[in-house]
Structure 1
Amino acid sequence: MRVFKWSPDFEAEKESMIAPIWISFPNLKAHLYEKSALLLIAKTVKKSLFIDEATANGSRPSVARGCMEYDCRKAPVDQVWIVVKDRVTRAVIGGYAERVEFSKMPKYCDHCCHVGHSVSNCLVLRNWPKKQGKPPGNKPLKDDGRES
């Protein structure tokens, strides 16, 4: 079951393309682990929901993680730009790119409006997923109707 915010254009037969996604910032600088800073950084990607417990208490310094709302139709960004300001004058003194990693980005089908597959694998369009080898039970029949 997926729960999402209701909107006036809600249609029961269409699933929302907005889904909660976990994102990670590997090797984020220590001073950016503060909750307000991390939520601000995540907000540059999309609407931030919350950060995980290990990030909040600093028990996993190798990666910071947050959950956010993301449009499944869009390709995930691979980096964000962090602006560095002088603490006294607040003037911009530099910046750097911070890597962003998405975990388990769901696919969205623009044809049938469902999460879990893309148009190329849409069953409504009869785009069956390609399987390795032949499925069991689909052996050619002999002339007398028996399997060969």
Structure 2
Amino acid sequence: MAAEDGGTGRPSFTNLVAVVPQPILEMVLAPGPLKMVEGEVYFQFTKEEIARSAEPFRYSVVLKFLKNRPLLDAMRAFIHSLWGLTAIPVVSSMRRPHNVFVHMANEADFTKALSREVCEINGIFYHAFRWSPDFNEDAEPSRVPIWVSLQGLPPNFYQEPFLNILMGPNGTFIRRDNPTRCTTRTDGARLYVEVDAAKPPLTHFWIGASGLSSSRKQEIVYDTLPAYCSSCNMQGHNTRTCNLGKAGKNGGRKVGRKGHSETKILINDQG
């Protein structure tokens, strides 16, 4: 058996580059008839079928680099050395040259990858997004992971079940920082939460009915809250400053459809 790096329990880099990719588990899917509408071929799957097909990739993230991304082997070595994962992830290219698909083996590694405070590899910065079946490489999701602070929150609420409930109206709780988890800092909780940047942020909530002397009003402080543009579906600016929106107002050129038919995949909400 190959030696492990420094006794950390993680595979050596030799094993990292030599690992044999494993095929995904095939799901059983009943064949369906070919469907056409107005000369267009389309396929329709139920929400349950789409969810089952995505199950092998539930611990996957997409890294969108702001500049040309590093080589894949360099990324694999960096991730292995500095991310502290317990298993070897699958790192692969995507259609857009700036995007990289990283498939983790378990939830703990997925949480580490999504919640890194310094989002760079070999000096090239990136945005990390949770992958889902409707992920669009030509747009950026409005749901983004960010750090928030609940200043003055009593330490008895630092337990994960409480934090899951308290963050429910604001987004999806991902994890606590170590001082919160170990209660070595009790002036407030610091959490990593996935929020919808296209919506106004929740500024506070109440523990107990609002206004009662026995209740507590809890403020939410956001480390950073990225702007999101609903015109071009990109982060970093809003609709007022969007170049695409300005071009539309000034009379942008409309692109015509190609003459051949297109294949479409639809999701049947009726199940």
TM-score normalized by the length of structure 2:
0.40
SS state at 1:4 partner: strand
Greater RCO, CA 8 A, separation 6+: 1
Tell me the equivalent position of 1:8.
133
Note the residue ranges of structure 1 that are not aligned, 5 or more in a row.
85-93, 128-148
C-alpha separation in 2, matches of 1:34 and 1:10: 32
Tell me the equivalent position of 2:56.
none
Work out the number of aligned pairs and report it. Answer: 118
Structure 2 residue 176 is the aligned partner of structure 1 residue 56: no
C-alpha separation in 2, matches of 1:16 and 1:104: 17
Question: Is residue 17–residue 115 contact of structure 1 (8 Å, CA) maintained in 2?
Answer: yes
Tell me the equivalent position of 1:20.
145
Name which of 233, 237, 240 aligns with 1:113: 233
Deviation at 1:6, TM superposition (A): 2.9
Deviation at 1:25, TM superposition (A): 0.6
Alignment of 1:24-35 (within 5 A): 24-35=149-160
Question: Is residue 79–residue 100 contact of structure 1 (8 Å, CA) maintained in 2?
Answer: yes
Identity across the alignment (%)? 27
C-alpha separation in 1, matches of 2:238 and 2:200: 13
SS state at 2:140 partner: coil
Name which of 66, 70, 74 aligns with 2:199: 74
Tell me the equivalent position of 2:221.
101
C-alpha separation in 2, matches of 1:34 and 1:95: 19
Q: Which has the higher helix share?
A: 2
SS state at 1:19 partner: strand
Tell me the equivalent position of 2:243.
123
Tell me the equivalent position of 2:162.
37
Question: Is residue 110–residue 118 contact of structure 1 (8 Å, CA) maintained in 2?
Answer: yes
C-alpha separation in 2, matches of 1:28 and 1:107: 27
AA at the equivalent of 2:163: L
Deviation at 1:75, TM superposition (A): 1.1
The Cα offsets for residues 59-110 of structure 1, whole Å up to 9 and x where unpaired, read as 22112111111001111111112138xxxxxxxxx63321111121000011
SS state at 2:174 partner: strand
The Cα offsets for residues 98-126 of structure 1, whole Å up to 9 and x where unpaired, read as 11111210000111111111111212334
SS state at 1:125 partner: helix
Question: Is residue 112–residue 122 contact of structure 1 (8 Å, CA) maintained in 2?
Answer: yes
Question: Is residue 42–residue 66 contact of structure 1 (8 Å, CA) maintained in 2?
Answer: no
SS state at 2:240 partner: helix
